[in-house]
Every structure is written in C-alpha cells, then in structure tokens.
Structure 1
Amino acid sequence: MRTDPILPHWMPHTGETIPHPCGEDFDAVRVTADLAAPALAALGARTGPVLANHTTQTWMFLVPPGSAPPGRWTLGVRVMPRGATIGIPPIGRTGGRDIHWAVPPGRGVTYADDLKRILTGPLAPAVPTRGTGSQASSTTPPTARTAAPTSQRPLSAALLAVGELLLAGHSEAQIAKSLSRPLGTVRQHLNRLARLFDAPNPALKAAALLGRGRLSPPPVQMLAPDVAPVDLAVLRVLAGIGRDAELPVELRPIGPFLDHVDELRERCGARTDAHLIALAAAWGLLPTLTSSTSRREQ
C-alpha cells in the first residue's frame, strides 16, 4: 500500500492508532484545550501537526525533535519527556471524542519558540480561574502583568551572569558556552529567574532584570530607530508594563502582535525578544525599566 510522500514515516499505515515515543521524530507539547484553541488560531499558517483528544481535554502540538526541552512552560502546558509514548492516529481520523488530528501532518511545521511565545507571552490566552464566584473566560484579554513580590536580597553572581547574557541576546546554548556551564545548569538558572520574577518568557525576564534595578541595559552602538506610538505600545506590552488595551484593535490578536514584534526585532537589530527589550531600555524607549537603575547609580 502506497502512502502519500508528504506524510512522515512515523504515520500508521493501517486504520489503527499506534503508540510512538516522543523525542525521536518529534517533541510533543501537551496543552489544555482552553489554551490550545486560541493558540492554534494565533499560529495560523505557521502550524504543523496537532493532535486533539476531547475526552481528556488536551491537545498535542508536535514540534521538531530536540527543540522543546521537557518540563512545564506555564500552567496547563507541558513538554512531554523523551520516551513518553503518545497515540498517533491514521491520517483520515480528524474527528471524534478520542485522539484525532486537529491539524494533520503534511501541512507545515510548528516551531517550539513560536508556540512558547504564544502560550507564555504577554497576550497569552488566560487560564480560567477556579474556586471563585466569577467565571474567568479563556478568551478574556489579559492585562499588564502584576509583578509577584520577590526577595530583596541581591541575585547570586551566577544568576546575574546569566541575566547579562540574556539581555545581550544570547541563546541558552550561547550562554552555556560563554559561561562554560552545562546547558541544563543554564536552564535551571533561567527557571529560577522565572520563578523569582513571575516571568515565564525571555522578554518578561529581561524587563524584570532591568526594571527592578538588578542590571543595566547593555551598551549599544547604533542609534535608536524611528519608532511610532504603536511601536512603543507593542514594546510596553511585550515587556509586561503595558496593557493590551493600549494596542490598536488590529494588533490585539496574538498572531498580528507577534508579527509586529518580529518586525521590530529586525528593525532594531535585536537577536531575541529579551535583547529587543534591553535595547529599547538602553535607548530610553522604556524609561520605567531604567529609572530604578539610574537611582542606584546616583
């Protein structure tokens, strides 16, 4: 029996669902249904294979192998550990209560960085509140993040070193190489910063490191590019110091917002979202992120 050549080799050749281990041909990001649907809409054409299971109310986004280290990204989102098996249904199973394809293979690729930014970023779908009298909708637009209280003790030298390289636009692997530390250790430090500052993504970590006077922006060589009010609004929301209500209506969906962030990164010469926030702070475009540092230096 011939199979469609665009389909991956791990697809079943019969009408049965077969188990397949994570970490070999793909990484699997398990997402609760209330977060998965708006994330899928935000990804749009940038979506690869996605599994859905209405019985368990979970979806699985399949991303390139090795691109999503196992662990929890945020409440309701977990990267499955290497070797964990998930069911792979036949290509024609696109409905039903049990596992089926929400997006069948062969359409495209979901990149882990895009998915993580959507699920943990400033415009991430809100998680419903439990145990309260009011029902929070998963589609309610989130407002600016409220910083969780943290210890006033100085950060350790190791955390500061990782933070400085994060602000300079280094990836996890580059930070590990620069500090001659194992990649796992660097990830532990970044997770520690995330917990300390309630900052699940790099942009929010950068804003917290700058805004609380922990670190100064990195030196910059180029002059600030021309920015419009909408650019400043996007930067403020990305940094967690602005509300999405400040954005034009056309940028409030997650997809267009992320497209504008990508354009800003390119225009500003920023390597990452964290680097973009650091550059904006260095140019004085986000003065609230440098005011505490300025007071400390006086």
Structure 2
Amino acid sequence: MPDWMPTNGETVRRACGEDFDAVRVTADLAAPALAALGPGQGPVLANNTTKTWVFLVPPGSAPPGRWALGVRVMPRGAAIGIPPIGRTGGRDVHWAVPPGRGVTYVEDLKRILTGSLPPAAPARRAGRKASATTPDPRRAAAAVRPRPLSPTLLKVGALLLAGHSDTQIAKELSRSLTTVRAHVRQIGNLLNAPNPALKAAALLAGGHLPPPPVQMQAPGLVPVDLAVLRVLAGISRDAELPVALRPTSPFLDHVEGLRERCAARTDAHLIALATAWGLLPTLNSPASRREPQP
C-alpha cells in the first residue's frame, strides 16, 4: 500500500501533485476508459453522487488543464478524498480500482480519453451499473488486421509474451526504460491494443509472433476460468461472466488467481500461455501454434 493511504478507517484529504496527479473524468467516459486500460491499471476513485471518477497517476506526469469535454487534470494542491482500502462501493467516494495493483500511465489514459470510446449510456439507461471489465469490441484482439512491426518491436513483443516487465525488457535489450516503454506504446498504437493482455492477443491473433514455449500442461480450468480468459483477451464481452465477477475488483482477483495457477508472470504471459495450450482458439494463427515441450 502507498504511504498516503488512510490507516484509521476514515476518508482523508490528500493534495494533488505530491503523491499523485489526479485526472477527473465524468462517469460515462470513465467506465469504458477503465475497460480499455485493462487489469493492469493504477488506482481509480469513483463517486456515484457527483457521477465523477478520478484516475490517480504518477506525480508530475499530468500538467493541469482540460484534455477534452468531461476530462480535467486537477490543479496541484487541490484536495482529493482518499477512502480506506476496504471501501469499494456506495454513493460517496470509494475505490473502483484500489491501489496496489499497477500504474496508469498518462500517455495511455490521455490517448484513450481523447479518442473514440464506446458510450456507457445503454447500460445506465437499463438501470445497470456499467461494468469496468467490458472491452471495446473494436479493440478486441485488435487485430485480426496485421500491421507490420519492425524487428525491434518484434523483439519487445516476444519478451512481452514471455512475461518480462518493461524493466526486464530494457535490461535484456540494453535499452533505456523510457525507450522500451515508448516501444510498448507503439505496439499498442499499431495494433489498437491499449493494455498488455490485448497487446498479447493482437500479437498472436495477427500472426506477428508465436507464444513462448511451454514446459507444463494446461492446468484444469473450469468454464468460468475460460470465460475470464476470453474477456481478458478482448475476445468476448463481460456478459459471458457470472454476475459476481462483473465488478472490476472480483474480476481482477480471478485474473490474479489464474496467473498463479498457470505460472504466468504477467497478464500478457497468461494470454500467451493460454493460446499455446489451445484455450483461446481464436488467437491461434498459424504462427502461434506450438506444442508443449516434454
């Protein structure tokens, strides 16, 4: 947990610009943006009374101002209410995504929020809470339309599929971390895949790369596990999931459990392993078919 989290069970006020920058987004834009970012994002606050969400990003990375209608970076010093870690629902401020899961990078968030997003209005008109795990079908496995990748991007993509972090990729390729992150973003831009799991799905579905070799047989997965994998890969919408998994936090917990059972280091690695095992047949392009190693 970050040290700016409250420890007494009460909501506390923290100033923007010190421990985090804050991007305030109207709820109708925030839900599909959260879906596009995928499971590896940083903390997100929601307030059902004001109908606004706040994405917390690294301090100093988001200059104050407006990005688009309904999107504003809060000024330095503005106070943000930070609830305790266990508050994940209710009408007032609560966690849509609690801290401790990952980091939201400003470049990805801005690209998603200022681009074309699927409207969240239909789910709201029907009286249902918009789910943060619903992927945009226009992004899903983005890529059945292959687009050429440079040899450098293919090297980065192969390491991404093998479960390497950005830091590990930088070390492996003797590149700076900034350069590697730029390459990873470029892969996402070329394949229309905003998060690591969708990048992996696009690399495999488009035939750009095969999955990494696997040394173990697929663990025994039940239908709900396979449904979670399909949603994570952007192959299907979260309507396929049990109702209990459609809020963001239970879905992410289930993904984390799948990573442990499949010995996957990252979400991208999990998608690559599932493809190698034949659990995601729509991603099995000719280049992605591999048999388990003895």
Q: 1:171 aligns with which of 155, 161, 165?
A: 165
Q: Which residues of structure 2 form unaligned runs of 5+? A: 1-5, 35-41, 84-91, 110-115, 290-294
Per-residue deviation, residues 4-57 of structure 1 (Å, max 9, x unmatched): x958xxx87xxxxx9x452x4234344333355897xxxxxxx979586988x7
Unaligned runs of 5+ in 1: 13-17, 40-46, 93-100, 121-125
Match of 2:102 among 105, 113, 116: 113
Q: Distance in 2 between matches of 1:271 and 1:207?
A: 16
Q: Determine if contact 2:28/2:119 at 8 Å carries over to the other structure.
A: no
For the 8 Å contact 2:225–2:258, the answer to whether it is kept is yes
Question: Is residue 222 of structure 2 the alignment partner of residue 236 of structure 1?
Answer: no
Contact 2:22 2:73 in 1 (8 A): yes
Residue 60 of structure 1 corresponds to which residue in structure 2? 54
1:169–1:49 distance in 2 versus 1, CA, 3 Å: closer
Letter of the aligned partner of 1:201 in structure 2? Answer: N
1:246 shift after superposition: 2.2
Give the CA deviation at 1:218.
0.3
Superposition deviation, residue 277 in structure 1: 0.3
Query: Residues 128 and 136 of structure 1 are in contact (CA less than 8 Å); yes or no, is this contact kept in structure 2?
Result: no
The reply to whether residue 159 of structure 1 matches residue 153 of structure 2 is: yes
Following TM superposition, by how much is the alpha carbon of 1:213 offset from its aligned partner in structure 2, in angstroms?
Answer: 0.5
CA distance in structure 2 between the aligned counterparts of 1:79 and 1:220, rounded to whole angstroms:
45
Question: How big is the shift at 1:220?
Answer: 1.3
- What is the CA–CA distance in structure 1 between the aligned matches of 2:195 and 2:82, rounded to whole Å? 34
Residue 199 of structure 1: how far off its partner (Å): 1.0
Q: RMSD value over aligned CA atoms?
A: 4.5
In structure 2, do the counterparts of structure 1 residues 274 and 33 end up closer, same or farther at CA, with 3 Å as the change threshold? same
Q: Is it true that 1:218 corresponds to 2:212 in the alignment?
A: yes
Contact residue 50 and residue 102 of structure 1 kept, 8 A: yes
Task: Say whether 1:88 aligns with 2:82.
Answer: no
Q: 1:265, CA displacement in angstroms?
A: 0.6
Q: Give the 5 Å matches for 1:231-270.
A: 231-270=225-264
- What's the TM-score once normalised by structure 1's chain length? 0.64
- The secondary structure found in structure 2 opposite 1:85 is coil
Distance 1:53 1:140 in 2: 12
Q: Secondary structure at the match of 2:149?
A: coil
Measured after TM superposition, the shift of residue 249 of structure 1 is 2.6
**1:49·1:61 contact (CA, 8 Å) conserved in 2?**
yes
What is the CA distance between 1:253 and its match in structure 2? Answer: 2.5
Cα separation, 2, equivalents of 1:77 and 1:272: 32
Contact 2:146 2:206 in 1 (8 A): no
Shift of 1:201: 0.8
With over 3 angstroms needed to count, the CA separation of the structure-2 counterparts of 1:109 and 1:233, relative to structure 1, is: closer
Write the mapping of 1:103-142 to structure 2, written as runs, cut at 5 A.
103=94, 110-111=99-100, 113=102, 129=119, 136-137=122-123, 139-140=129-130, 142=134
CA gap of 1:165–1:78, structure 2 versus 1, over 3 A, is farther
1:168–1:275 contact (8 Å) kept in structure 2: yes
What is the CA-CA distance between 1:129 and the residue it aligns to?
Answer: 3.6
State the AA in 2 paired with 1:102.
Answer: V
Structure number, greater radius of gyration:
1
Q: Which has the higher contact order (CA 8 A, sep 6+)?
A: 2
Q: Pick from 9, 19, 33: which aligns with 1:25?
A: 19
Contact 1:231–1:264 (CA under 8 A) maintained in structure 2: yes
Aligned length: 245
- Could you tell me which amino acid in structure 2 is paired with residue 85 of structure 1? R
Q: Is the 8 A contact 2:143 2:202 kept in 1?
A: no
Equivalent residues of 2:146, 2:208 under 8 A apart: no
Q: Which moved more, 1:270-279 or 1:182-191?
A: 182-191
Percent of aligned positions with the same letter in both sequences?
54
Q: Which residue of structure 2 lines up, in the alignment, with residue 44 of structure 1? A: none
Q: 1:87 to 1:269 in 2, by over 3 A?
A: same
